[in-house]
Amino acid sequence: MPELAEVEWFRRQWSPGLGHEIADVKAHSRKYVFRGTDGDALRQNLTGQKLVRSKRSGKQMLFEFFGDNPEMIGARENIRSSLGIHLGMTGKTHIEPSNFQPGKHDHLVLYQRDRSLVFTDPRQLGHVRFHHGREEPDWWKGRSPEIDSSAFDRKFFNEFLDRHGNAPIKAVLLMQNGFPGIGNWMADEILWRAKVLPSKRIRKLTAHERSVIFRATKWVVRRSLETLGKDFSDPPKNWLIHQKWKRGGICPIHRASLKHANVAGRTTAWCPKCQK
DNA sequence: ACCCCTGTTCGGCG
DNA sequence: CCGCCGAACAGGGG
């Protein structure tokens, strides 16, 4: 489920726990979601620390913790531990009461006095990472510019496209180092709005098509953050997302039947009338 | 039983 | 070496 806007919403689900101490931790640390992560270090280091800040970069979430000196909350130099969570296909973060008993798929629970912060992921394609130390974790370094930022500009966009001339545009939109946070539904939404076939190779795109794709990318990200990202409400009715999974789904503009095929290894929907 | 899946990584191949 | 593609990961649902 989670792409950029949904991840932003899931990041904020743990906000009631900001400023509060972690009293206890339960982690199913041998499970696949903890691959490459030291579950014992996570449990020992987080216990007794406060959750002080969270951020998102693309589909990655970062939760930061520190131990003491409350007036310095939020200052990077006081951060002691970093918890990274990627939601994969089926992950979610949620708040539960402080007496929460984890079920089979509740892989990580951070207990606070008045609530618990839970990470659940049935399919386990998500990922929990942990780093103890003041410096930025290796797995958070070198992030690409956020699409909703001035650093994601036409120069960055065009140079990234130029590096993948032979790839279909849909495959390139799914590359997280160029389009952090874009996933299957957002890629289809962008290309439908830009009127470009998902299978079209980068080198066949005209300058005009590139420009329209650039603007559609920014627009879809901003508008979905205002709806899904804010309160998980639906994007506007005339978005492709409401049609793409339906049998008999139609183009919101022409009412033509959508086409479906596998492009770049993913189920893809497009309107044969608008997209060329 | 069989096939599908809003994600990412890795091995094989061109 | 570069880059694309399909498989694999793990589990639930249609």
Q: What is the pLDDT of residues A184-213, one digit of tens each?
A: 999 999 999 999 999 999 999 999 999 999
- CA A245 / C1′ B13 distance in Å: 33
Give residue A270's pLDDT. 94
- CA A71 / C1′ B6 distance in Å: 40
| Nearest in space to A152 (alpha carbons), one of A210, A214, A224 | A214
Nucleotides of B under 7 A from a protein CB: 4-9
A92 in any annotated domain: yes
A52 in any annotated domain: yes
Q: With a cut of 70, say whether residue A60 has pLDDT above it.
A: yes
| Nearest in space to A200 (alpha carbons), one of A228, A160, A172 | A172
The residue segments making up the domain with residue A175 are: 154-270
- A264, A168: one domain: yes
Quick one: which residue's CA is nearest to C6's C1'? A265
A202 in any annotated domain: yes
Percent of chain A residues past pLDDT 90, beyond the cut: 83
- A129, A253: one domain: no
What CATH number should be reported for the domain holding residue A9? Answer: 3.20.190.10
Footprint of strand B on the protein (CB under 7 A): A 1-3, 6, 58-59, 86, 88-89, 123, 125, 174, 176, 183-185, 245, 265-267
Nucleotide nearest to A163 (CA to C1'): C3
A65 in any annotated domain: yes
Torsion of CA A132, A133, A134, A139, to 10 degrees: -60
- A106, A212: one domain: no
Helix A184-194 and helix A207-226: axis angle, to 10°? 130
| H helix intervals, chain A | 4-13, 39-46, 154-162, 169-173, 184-194, 207-226, 228-231, 241-244
- A117, A181: one domain: no
How many other CB atoms are found less than 10 A from the CB of residue A174?
20
- CA A268 / C1′ C14 distance in Å: 19
What CATH number should be reported for the domain holding residue A213? Answer: 1.10.8.50
pTM: 0.94
Nucleotide nearest to A88 (CA to C1'): B7
CA distance A122 to A91: 7
Please give the tally of structural domains in chain A.
2
Nucleotide nearest to A86 (CA to C1'): B7
CA distance A258 to A276: 13
| Nearest in space to A103 (alpha carbons), one of A113, A112, A92, A114 | A92
Domain edge (last residue) among A140, A165, A185: A140
Strand ordering across the sheet containing A60-66 = A50-57, A60-66, A81-86, A127-132
Query: Under a CB-based contact definition with an 8 Å cutoff, are residues A92 and A120 in contact?
Result: yes
- A182, A126: one domain: no
Helix, strand, or coil (residue A231): helix
Give residue A77's pLDDT. 57
Query: Under a CB-based contact definition with an 8 Å cutoff, are residues A97 and A116 in contact?
Result: yes
Give residue A201's pLDDT. 92
Q: With a cut of 60, say whether residue A116 has pLDDT above it.
A: yes
- A16, A134: one domain: yes
Q: With a cut of 90, say whether residue A103 has pLDDT above it.
A: yes
pLDDT band for position A62 (50/70/90)? very high
- CA A18 / C1′ C2 distance in Å: 45
Nucleotide nearest to A1 (CA to C1'): B6
Distance of CA A112 to the CA centre of its chain: 25
- CA A90 / C1′ C6 distance in Å: 22
Q: With a cut of 60, say whether residue A84 has pLDDT above it.
A: yes
A149 in any annotated domain: no
- According to DSSP, residue A1 is labeled -
CA distance A62 to A246: 34
